């Protein structure tokens, strides 16, 4: 995900070396001079062990979108909203029927 208006870049990462496998969104900012700075990472809430996604520390983030000052991430488990500046969680909406 690239947001030219905010200079934000978000890349989904899957780290298979971690056990359980670690999924997260790595968030960066690009300054007007082209400098890249890592802001941090975002992970969605983990599914309980025993579920199909229980092999992973958190669900695989499939999409990301910036609206205003909020970064939205979407996985098969749900949608999460995070403040773009602090990356703190604003809201979590699990999908009905998703393995939780």
CATH of the domain at 56: 2.40.10
Quote the CA–CA distance of 4 and 49 in Å, as a whole number. Answer: 38
**pTM of structure:** 0.82
Is position 56 within any domain?
Answer: yes
Query: In this structure, what token pair is assigned to residue 91?
Result: 């809201």
Q: What residue ranges in the chain does DSSP mark as E strands?
A: 2-3, 8-15, 22-30, 36-42, 61-67, 70-75, 78-83, 89-94
Quote the CA–CA distance of 17 and 24 in Å, as a whole number. Answer: 14
Domain count for the chain, please give it. Answer: 1
pLDDT of residue 47: 65
pLDDT of residue 54: 56
More confident: 42 or 100? 42
Is position 100 within any domain?
Answer: no
Structural domain containing residue 41? 2-94
Quote the CA–CA distance of 59 and 78 in Å, as a whole number. Answer: 9
* Arithmetic mean of pLDDT over the chain: 87
What does residue 42 show for φ and ψ, rounded to 5 degrees?
A: -130, 130
Is position 33 within any domain?
Answer: yes
pLDDT of residue 94: 92
Is position 99 within any domain?
Answer: no
């Amino acid at each position: 995900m690239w947001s030219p208006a905010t200079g934000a870049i978000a890349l989904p990462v899957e780290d298979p070396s971690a056990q359980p496998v670690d999924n997260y969104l790595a968030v960066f900012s690009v300054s007007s001079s082209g400098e890249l700075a890592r802001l941090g990472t975002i992970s969605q809430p983990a599914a309980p062990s025993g579920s199909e996604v229980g092999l992973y520390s958190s669900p695989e983030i499939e999409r990301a979108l910036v609206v205003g000052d909020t970064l939205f991430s979407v996985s098969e488990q749900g949608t999460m909203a995070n403040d773009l500046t602090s990356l703190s969680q604003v809201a979590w909406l699990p999908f009905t029927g998703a393995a939780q």
